[in-house]
Structure 1
Amino acid sequence: MMIELATTALLFLSFLAFAAKRGLTYMHVYQQEEYDSERLLSWIWKNKAFDKRLSVVVIVVTILSFFIPPVFVNFLIFTAMAFATYREKDPRKDSKKKLVATARAKRIFFPAYFLSVLAATWCFLPVTPMPWLWILNIHLIPFMILFVNMMLAPFEEMNQKKFWNEAHNKVLDYQPTVIGITGSFGKTSVKHILGHILKTQAPTLVTPGSVNTPMGISRILREQLEPEHKYLIVEMGAYGRGSIDRLCRLTPPDFGIITSIGHAHYERFKSLETVAETKYELAEAVVGRGGQVVVHERTLRFDYTRAMKEQNENHFIVCGESADVDKSKQADKSYLKKGDLEIHKIIQGGKGLEVRFTWKNVTYNVEVPLFGIHHGHNIALAFVTAFELGVSSKDIQTALQSLPQIEHRLEVRKQSGGLTIIDDAYNSNPMGFQSALGLLSQIGSSKRKILITPGMVELGKIHDEAHKSIGAYAGEVCDIAIVVKGKRIPTFITAFKETGASKQLHEVESFDEAQKWIAKNKQDGDVVLIENDLPDIYERVPRI
């Protein structure tokens, strides 16, 4: 009797530990998916991230329970559960983007954990001594998390509204000039460039990193916005229709910059027309306040965006490359008109970019210590906006000469042993990828060129075609490609291999494994491009 009680207690304790570890695993994904229940369920289904190993053991033990005493049944399940707990990684420590114990995460995790433990008690009731019930308990863990979040929804909405109002009222009280920036790609880079220029003129608050959601921006405003801030630069992310509109209500914009409309986050929008309409919610808000909108001319490929611009000509400033710079315009239509800012030349040198453009009948030559041809129009967008805000062209050019590189966005670093790293880990879309490969070709012209990439994400139905195209180009440029999670991008691998038998391609399971390959095989003068670094939800799918 005592032995049976002891094994029962051990089994219960092992489930306490297991439920905590497994709950943290799902919370980690939930947090990265911004507590979107539909996306968590989609991730679980797509990656088959439901328990398999422990469940199989419990099924076997259930069959054995007809032939062995309960004390052995409990001990076997305890042993399996303890081992599974030991193997499960802690996302608070063992992950790229660690699980952050925010107040919201705690509000979801602890009640869900309590419910999981409470549900497990039925396995010990005299009327239900069936081992297979443990399988149900194991698989209920993510659904407990979803259930608790659903029950907390009214409270979370009320809480978010409170924070939203505090942040919004601060903006209204301090009245900084608000510059909103959105786009499928390029927005963080333009924010970095413009922020650097404006900080040389007056106190400026720039939303940090990739903070671009209502709650993230609200937190920054509540904690950091001060009365002396003359300028507030807000990066605005879009995750569906109305996303930008909500952010514009939070921080009513006086100026807007729309950098691009492309296939980033295509899975969420389903069509480029929807992307365009969503991004141009910023233009609507700015025009409604009588402000100025600075846009890249390629955003005018859509009927909706052109119509808005034509109806509000005095509120729009358009920037774009001439056909000499953007070869695609020799075949496609250009939407640049007389009086728009036209970029004539973008030259990548060893120390940075030289950009020449004409605006209002004045030609400017700007030198900027950035790498990547695509930054040419990012510089132009920031230049025009700063000029319209009252900064002289001389001051803008002086500020640009001291611009630091943008972290993880074509950041070029020299390392010991003659190794050069081109770090583009935070910036992967078809256009950016192509630009990065062009830079790799130039910097590594007489050296061994190595690419590390897991490919691109959230491209929807163009995923295969985009990777086929970029794989072919990578094959022309690179000597070696190290592909992380190659099963995601088979068309890239096929296209790369078709470019020549002399090319090397290695498939690895993680970015860490790719780095180890470089450390072991590097040669003097190697140039390594790191193109995209998958978040944990793509690269480190738990093996459960």
Structure 2
Amino acid sequence: MLPQLYNAFLACQGISTDTRQITPGCLFVALRGDTFNGNEFALTALAEGARYALIDDPAVADQALAADRDRCLLVPDALTAMQDLARHHRRQFTFPVIGLTGSNGKTTTKELMAAVLARKYRVEATVGNLNNHIGVPLTLLRIDPANTQMAVIEMGANHQREIAMLSRICEPTHGLITNIGKAHLEGFGGVEGVRKGKGELFDYLAETGGTVFVNQQDATLRAMVAERQFREVIPYWTDGQYAIEQEAPVVIFEDATTDFAAKPRVVTHLPGLYNFANMAAALAVGAYFDVPQTEALQAVADYNPTNNRSQRITKGTNTVWLDAYNANPSSMAAAVQQFGQQKAKRRAVILGDMYELGDESEAEHAALGELVAAQHFDLVILSGHDMKYALPALPKAYYFPDKFSLHNWIADNPMQDTHILIKGSRGMKLETVVPFI
């Protein structure tokens, strides 16, 4: 069945799982979810221009017009068929496929890595954060092997065995784990579960003779590498390979004033020392694949995020640091501590709940409150159900359990000459706060 499916896929122009995004000649995949059944829209997809519809409900084919029945590709399970199709398509690639995962920074690292490699190669990379059991297959199936020289595939997970499954689909030849942190603790069963789950990428690369890139300043990652046998391990460092700001190892940021003529000076659009690890990873991969250093550094300098991650926005006399795509205890601590060192006339933080922490949520939000208190910000605003646990350490903070009251208060209390950090989990959607500032 797979060869026939693949021939049908090759006859298509693109792939879609949403009838609102049908393009002429595409393959429509009828996925199922808790609240939807893509089979119900398959015939609509065909009518709107899809060449084939991959379905798992025989009734759909029975309902199709005679002319459309051959365009209904019936399989036992549409998602599994799409994953198998993606794996088969990936096996047609003869170029390197770099797999990427980690608790924090993986999307920014992926974007930087793709930008660096694009200075020398034709690169395809995960769009946005399509990094799960649906997004990874879709990413692979959108790659044209004839016009690609390198692929960067981001893999996300919130429970064990998920990275193992994704690795078996995208079959990376090279891999990198950004870090191991307190993310998705509920699904992984604690930090050790995160370590094991993210380590499934290393397991795959060790088993298949792949290459791994390892941050030598991360003791956890070094230990994980030492536990396995790899064909090739490429170390990289985060202690001043390219430039330093004051005494800290970092590619120089926009607010840096120190200039060291002996080393390349790189002004970037990314705030925070924590972003240097992301840059160092991208530069290490670029160096391994012989991207000229000057080109790689320029790619890092040119990268300007627009995806609610490390995004700087000017609002009147205020500067907003929008990092609202996601949050967990590790990334929140890094952002808050870095922002605490920000030189500004007035500093404010707007922080939302950290999701998927399970039984650890109360303790982690309380610990965050202690951390925020130590920074002595001029204004602290908290929002979300679990942020109430941070309040004992922050008696002067403003707390809003819902977004409606949060928006109203910010609109009624305009800020001036203030640097503002906005950070929370994706479900909080704190980017909606920006128009009210």
Q: Shorter-normalised TM-score: what interval?
A: 0.7 to 0.9
Give the one of 494, 504, 508 matched to 2:400: 508
Task: Tell me what 1:165 maps to.
Answer: 84
Task: Tell me what 2:276 maps to.
Answer: 376
Task: Tell me what 1:450 maps to.
Answer: 348
8 Å contact 2:183–2:194 — kept in the other structure? no
Summarize deviations over 1:432-475 as a string: whole Å, max 9, x none: 2233224433445322x222122312223433333223212322
Give the one of 104, 109, 123 matched to 1:190: 109
Higher Rg: 1
Summarize deviations over 1:309-351 as a string: whole Å, max 9, x none: 5x43x6223345559xxxxxxxxxxxxxxxxxxx961276444
Q: Secondary structure at the match of 1:422?
A: strand
Task: Tell me what 1:178 maps to.
Answer: 97
TM alignment of 1:92-491, pairs within 5 A: 103-105=30-32, 109=36, 158-297=77-216, 300-301=219-220, 305-309=224-228, 311-312=229-230, 315-321=232-238, 345-346=249-250, 349-351=253-255, 366-405=266-305, 407-416=307-316, 418-443=317-342, 445-447=344-346, 449-475=347-373, 476-485=375-384, 487-491=385-389
Cα deviation, residue 237, structure 1: 1.2
Task: Tell me what 2:23 maps to.
Answer: none
TM-score (norm 1): 0.60
Counterpart Cα distance in 2 of 1:355 and 1:103: 56
Counterpart Cα distance in 1 of 2:123 and 2:251: 30
Unpaired runs of at least 5, structure 2: 1-28, 41-56, 58-73, 241-246, 431-437
Counterpart Cα distance in 2 of 1:165 and 1:353: 53
Counterpart Cα distance in 2 of 1:510 and 1:273: 33
The one-letter amino acid paired with 1:345 is P
Summarize deviations over 1:383-414 as a string: whole Å, max 9, x none: 11111122122221122221112521221111
Cα deviation, residue 162, structure 1: 1.6
Q: Secondary structure at the match of 1:218?
A: helix
The one-letter amino acid paired with 1:402 is D
Cα 1:465/1:296, change in 2 over 3 Å: farther
Cα 1:483/1:534, change in 2 over 3 Å: farther
Counterpart Cα distance in 2 of 1:478 and 1:178: 44
Unpaired runs of at least 5, structure 1: 1-101, 114-148, 150-154, 324-342, 357-361, 498-502, 539-544
8 Å contact 1:296–1:319 — kept in the other structure? yes
Counterpart Cα distance in 1 of 2:85 and 2:258: 43
Task: Tell me what 2:5 maps to.
Answer: none
Task: Tell me what 1:16 maps to.
Answer: none
The one-letter amino acid paired with 1:315 is E
Summarize deviations over 1:211-251 as a string: whole Å, max 9, x none: 11122221232234442111111111123232112111111
Cα 1:295/1:304, change in 2 over 3 Å: closer
Counterpart Cα distance in 2 of 1:219 and 1:260: 25
Task: Tell me what 1:520 maps to.
Answer: 412
Cα 1:290/1:406, change in 2 over 3 Å: farther
Cα deviation, residue 511, structure 1: 3.0
Counterpart Cα distance in 2 of 1:196 and 1:298: 24
Q: Secondary structure at the match of 2:168?
A: helix
8 Å contact 1:355–1:376 — kept in the other structure? no
**Percent identity over paired residues:** 23
Cα deviation, residue 521, structure 1: 1.0
TM alignment of 1:51-130, pairs within 5 A: 103-105=30-32, 109=36
8 Å contact 2:324–2:429 — kept in the other structure? no
8 Å contact 2:103–2:183 — kept in the other structure? yes
8 Å contact 2:348–2:418 — kept in the other structure? yes
The one-letter amino acid paired with 2:287 is F
Counterpart Cα distance in 2 of 1:290 and 1:303: 18
Counterpart Cα distance in 2 of 1:442 and 1:304: 31
Comparing 200-209 with 271-280, greater Cα deviation is found at 271-280
Count of residue correspondences: 365
Cα 1:319/1:228, change in 2 over 3 Å: same
8 Å contact 2:86–2:138 — kept in the other structure? yes
The one-letter amino acid paired with 1:511 is K
Cα deviation, residue 202, structure 1: 1.9
Cα deviation, residue 525, structure 1: 0.7
Summarize deviations over 1:168-225 as a string: whole Å, max 9, x none: 2222223331000011111111101101111222221111111111222212322344
Counterpart Cα distance in 2 of 1:289 and 1:381: 22
Counterpart Cα distance in 1 of 2:188 and 2:334: 25
State the superposition RMSD in angstroms: 3.7
Q: Secondary structure at the match of 2:307?
A: coil
8 Å contact 2:239–2:250 — kept in the other structure? no
Counterpart Cα distance in 2 of 1:300 and 1:286: 20
The one-letter amino acid paired with 1:104 is L
Q: Secondary structure at the match of 1:535?
A: helix
8 Å contact 2:238–2:280 — kept in the other structure? no
8 Å contact 2:110–2:125 — kept in the other structure? yes
Cα deviation, residue 256, structure 1: 0.3
The one-letter amino acid paired with 1:346 is V
Cα 1:477/1:200, change in 2 over 3 Å: farther
Summarize deviations over 1:273-312 as a string: whole Å, max 9, x none: 2222221221222233433211234654389725425x43
8 Å contact 1:437–1:477 — kept in the other structure? no
More helix by share: 1
The one-letter amino acid paired with 2:99 is G
